[in-house]
Every structure is written in C-alpha cells, then in structure tokens.
C-alpha cells in the first residue's frame, strides 16, 4: 500500500483513470481524497450557481462543504460499468446535497411553503378573474376548504413564510454601506424629522417679531385652547383688548407669510 501511495506522490503524470483504478482496487481514503481534489471544481461551480440566487446571508463556503459531501457519496457509489461519465453522474448528487443543506437551514417546513404557494396562486387567479381582491370566503372556496379554522391556519402559515430577519442586509447592491432591513423600516407613528424641523423654523420666524404678550396670546389661544376671556384674565387685559390684539397679530402674520411664501413651503 505504501509503495502505491509513493508512486502516486512522485509520478505527476498519473491520470485520473489510474487514480480511479487504484481506488477501485484498494478503496483507500488516500485515493478518494485525490478524486475529491480533482472533481472539487464541479462542487464549486454548482455552489456558485446556486449562491447567486440566494440571499447574501447564505455563505458560499457552507454550500461548497455540503456539495463536497455529495461528491464523496457519488465517488463511493459510482459504477463505471454503466457507461456514464462520472461528471454526469455526480452533478445531480452534488446539487441535491446542497439543496438538502439549504432546506435544513430553512425554519419553515416544506409543507407550509407549499400551502403558502397554493394560497398565492389561488389569490392571483381570483384577482385576475374578478378584477378585484378576493374575499377570504372566495379564496377558501377556490382552495376547496370548508373549515374556516384550517383556512386561517394556512393564512398564518403564509404570513410566516414571508418573515425576514431584520439584521439581514437590505440590498445586494449596497456594497460596503451595510444597510440592514431594520435601518429602512418606516415608523408610521413617528413624525418626519425634516417636516418637524421646517415647522420649528417657521414657528420661530413668525414669532420673532412678536412681543411677549402677543406670543402668549397665540400660545394660549391655539395651543392651550383658552378662550379670549380666560386669556384676558391671565394677562390682566379685557376680553375686547385680547380680541383686538389677536386680530392684529393674525393680520401681520398673514402679510408676512404672503411676502415669504417660498421660504415657508413645506
């Protein structure tokens, strides 16, 4: 055995057929490893093709490792007597091994994904036929489902299939920006900071020329929603005087806004 290995190590002209011959005769792991090294580009090719269609979070090295196990199984099971080239025989096994690894990484069961796909097809078909979004009852009838609980379960499963990791990269085109899903989620409850900043600038600009009493009248009337009488009592002014000052303030503010409309555009 040692003599055969030494011959392989020293004879660089040993072709792949000779290595296969040694492996079939001895079954030695040394020759298996030589075969694996020789056919490894097939694994890398299959892994890269699949990797191009997958999210970035899937590591290419993981796919290559899975494909290598498929290659090893193919080497052990290959029968040259069948007249099939090894490359033709091992390619489906390599791809299948990689796909098995991807399925094991997917937390959503295949049955759930199948049901979600059926739901999507049924919804799209009804939408095209009806010219509108179908109701849940119409969709259930299309799927021939009578049990509403079963239909609701399928709906929940379909929503689960669409879940993504918020730590995942938002786009493959972001380069080194490293923008994640969580970074681009819109908070519907929060105010637009740009709009808020513009409003604050506008408020400061409008109230800049007002006296302290005039500012108080605006704040108490529009923000505290106090009546003219209540404002008068607070500022020690008559109700009519507060009303007169309010009208004067509004007229001045309107004139100021009309003269600077472009600056106030939001």
Report yes or no on 91 lying in a domain: yes
Short-list 90, 144, 82, CA closest to 118: 144
Same domain, 140 and 101: no
Same domain, 53 and 120: no
| Residue 237 near residue 206, CB atoms below 8 Å | no
Same domain, 225 and 259: yes
pLDDT, position 112: 60
pLDDT, position 53: 78
Report yes or no on 183 lying in a domain: no
Same domain, 97 and 150: no
- Is the alpha carbon torsion for 167, 170, 173, 177 positive or negative? negative
pLDDT, position 225: 87
Report yes or no on 187 lying in a domain: no
Same domain, 21 and 87: yes
Report yes or no on 184 lying in a domain: no
DSSP state letter for 79: -
- The answer for residues whose C-beta is within 8 angstroms of residue 206's C-beta and 6 or more apart is 253, 256, 257
Cα 19 from Cα 25, distance rounded (Å):
10
Same domain, 50 and 65: yes
State the CATH number of the domain containing residue 240: 1.20.140.160
User: How does pLDDT run along the chain (266 residues), one tens digit per residue?
Assistant: 444 554 444 444 568 888 898 888 888 888 889 999 999 999 999 999 988 877 666 788 989 999 999 999 999 999 888 888 899 999 999 999 998 887 776 545 555 666 677 788 888 888 888 888 888 888 888 888 887 777 777 777 666 544 455 555 555 554 545 555 556 566 667 777 778 887 777 777 767 778 888 888 988 888 888 999 999 998 888 999 999 999 998 888 888 777 766 665 55
State the CATH number of the domain containing residue 99: 1.10.1740.10
| Residue 262 near residue 205, CB atoms below 8 Å | no
Task: State both tokens at 51.
Answer: 């990797």
Q: What is the pTM of this model?
A: 0.43
The range of the structural domain enclosing residue 219 comes to 193-264
Number of domains into which the chain is organized? 3
Please identify, among 79, 105, 131, the residue that sits at the C-terminal boundary of a domain: 105
Same domain, 90 and 130: no
Please identify, among 70, 105, 140, the residue that sits at the C-terminal boundary of a domain: 105
Same domain, 64 and 142: no
Same domain, 100 and 114: no
Cα 220 from Cα 224, distance rounded (Å):
5
Report yes or no on 171 lying in a domain: no
């Amino acid at each position: 055995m040692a003599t055969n290995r030494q011959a392989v190590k020293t004879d660089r002209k040993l072709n792949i057929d000779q290595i296969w011959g040694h492996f079939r005769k001895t079954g030695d792991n040394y020759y298996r490893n030589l075969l694996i090294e020789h056919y490894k580009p097939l694994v890398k090719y299959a892994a890269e093709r699949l990797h191009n269609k997958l999210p970035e979070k899937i590591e290419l090295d993981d796919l290559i490792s899975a494909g290598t196990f498929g290659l090893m199984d193919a080497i052990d099971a290959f029968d040259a007597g069948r007249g099939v080239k090894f490359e033709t025989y091992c390619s489906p096994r390599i791809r299948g091994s990689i796909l098995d690894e991807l399925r094991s990484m997917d937390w959503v069961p295949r049955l759930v994904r199948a049901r979600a796909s059926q739901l999507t097809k049924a919804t799209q078909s009804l939408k095209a036929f009806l010219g509108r979004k179908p109701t849940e009852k119409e969709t259930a009838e299309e799927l021939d489902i009578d049990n509403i609980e079963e239909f609701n379960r399928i709906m929940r499963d379909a929503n689960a299939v669409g879940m993504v990791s918020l730590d995942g990269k938002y786009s493959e085109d972001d380069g080194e920006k490293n923008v994640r899903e969580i970074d681009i989620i819109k908070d519907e409850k929060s105010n637009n900071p740009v709009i808020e900043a513009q409003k604050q600038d506008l408020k400061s600009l409008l109230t800049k020329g007002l006296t302290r009493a005039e500012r108080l009248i605006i704040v108490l009337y529009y923000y505290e929603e106090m009546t003219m009488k209540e404002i008068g009592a607070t500022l020690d002014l008559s109700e009519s005087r507060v009303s007169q000052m309010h009208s004067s303030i509004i007229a001045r503010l309107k004139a100021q806004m009309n003269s600077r409309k472009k600056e106030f555009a939001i």
